[in-house]
Amino acid sequence: MTSCRRIAVVICALGVANLAGAAEIFTYDTPAELFGASLAVTQGLRELVRRTADYCGQTFPEMKADSREAVVEWSSRHADFLVVTASMRQSALAVSDPEKAAQLKQLIEDYLPKQTGAMADTLVRSIEDMPRPEVKQAMCRNTIGAVNAGKFDIETRDPAVAKYLRGVLGKRPKELAASADPDPIELQRIWNEQRKTVLFITHSIDEAVFLSDRVVVMTLRPGGVREILDIELPRPRTQHVRAHPRFIEYVGRIRDLIFTKS
């Protein structure tokens, strides 16, 4: 699992010196490393921004609007990158080689969410552990200011990943989703035509939020219902809905339900 260790280094580096603002210089030896790093960096920075903004907005109500706006603006700046990495995840999970598919599934659905969540929680704890409220508030303001200044942007944190994603974006849309099965857009089109109630079982959080009006999060064996979430997103949904702040909140909430003990 050399690639996993490599991605762990990238994730840890993103979490260290989080307000420094300087570009992190990474080199990648293989296309596979660059592919994996692109998923890690995009997901990691999104979680870092989202969880920090959530904490600051909830802890200091007067900062709630600014915190939410920072998440919205970050998502808007990265809308294309968020869309293309979502397509990359789907393509990776659809590879035909069983062994490779199992490794990618573990990386994308288990390893990356845990590592990026841990990185984001580390930054939140660094603020939360401050002894005085005024210090916490100052750190929150500095962090939100850094987000607004682009210091948590992919272009700033990892120019190599940003360049790679721009290259992928240059391909035709059908090439991005060539190996993705099933295609959520096509499933949505069929549902719009048939308008039937569908019980859809998936291990993809992104896919669940994209397609559903309601998501039922299950527990481990013996299976039970952990929580039911109503997905209040407008239809029809395009790929760009993944950059919507509410979509990001739903994905984060479901991930927390899955990877934290009840």
Query: pLDDT tens across 65-111, in order?
Result: 898 888 888 887 888 888 788 878 877 877 788 888 888 888 888 88
User: What distance in Å separates the CA atoms of residue 35 and residue 153, rounded to the nearest whole number?
Assistant: 18
| Pick from 78, 101, 48: nearest CA to 165 | 78
pLDDT at 176: 42
User: What distance in Å separates the CA atoms of residue 129 and residue 109, rounded to the nearest whole number?
Assistant: 30
How is residue 36 written in tokens?
A: 């994996």
CA angle 183, 185, 190 (to 5 degrees): 95
141: exposed, middle or buried (Cβ count in 10 Å: 0-12, 13-18, 19+): middle
Beta strand 225-230 with 214-218 is antiparallel
Residue 16 has pLDDT above 60, yes or no: no
107: exposed, middle or buried (Cβ count in 10 Å: 0-12, 13-18, 19+): buried
The 10s digit of each residue's pLDDT in 223-248 is 788 899 999 998 888 878 888 888 98
The 10s digit of each residue's pLDDT in 103-162 is 888 888 888 888 888 888 888 999 999 999 999 999 999 999 999 999 999 999 889 899
User: What distance in Å separates the CA atoms of residue 97 and residue 87, rounded to the nearest whole number?
Assistant: 19
How is residue 7 written in tokens?
A: 């991605």
What phi, psi does 97 have (nearest 5°)? -70, 115
Checking phi first, is residue 125 left (phi over 0); if not, alpha (psi -120 to 50) or beta? alpha
Residue type, 242: R
Contact 53, 71 (CB under 8 A): yes
